[in-house]
Amino acid sequence: MTYYIYIENEKINGAGQAQLQKENCQNIEITQDIYNSYINDPNKYIWNNTQITENPEYENISHEKEVQEAKAKILEELEILDKKRIRAICENEIKDSQTNQTWLDFYNNQVQELRAKLNSLS
């Protein structure tokens, strides 16, 4: 089977197993390994005017993507905790009778931990 990466306007614009019949589009034949790698992560390769090469900024881009995903997950957890804190304010119940910790205090502690993680990612 033959694999191609499509080049348009001096940039990679996709990949496939058939040639793209489009004006101003180059079809560059590639190996199956490069094809699979590109499909899994398009940021890994760039076109450098004559050939397809690994992106020298790939590690930075990957790291930034991981940081953004971690931030999004923390923000989602904070949103859930905010709803729980609203309920804790309304119900005002004790979570632990030995320490007199309320549910609000418990959730506030979790929020502080998540905010610290979020700040460390910035």
Two structure tokens written together for 119: 């700040």
Q: Give the contacts of 90 (CB within 8 A, at least 6 positions apart).
A: none
Q: Is the pLDDT of residue 6 over 90?
A: yes
Domain boundaries, the chain: 3-56, 59-121
Two structure tokens written together for 88: 């804790």
Q: What is the pLDDT of residues 29-73, one digit of tens each?
A: 999 999 999 999 999 999 998 899 999 999 999 999 999 999 999
Task: Name the band, by pLDDT with cuts 50, 70 and 90, for residue 22.
Answer: confident
User: What percentage of the chain exceeds 70 in pLDDT?
Assistant: 100
User: How far from the centroid of its chain's Cα atoms is residue 12's Cα?
Assistant: 21
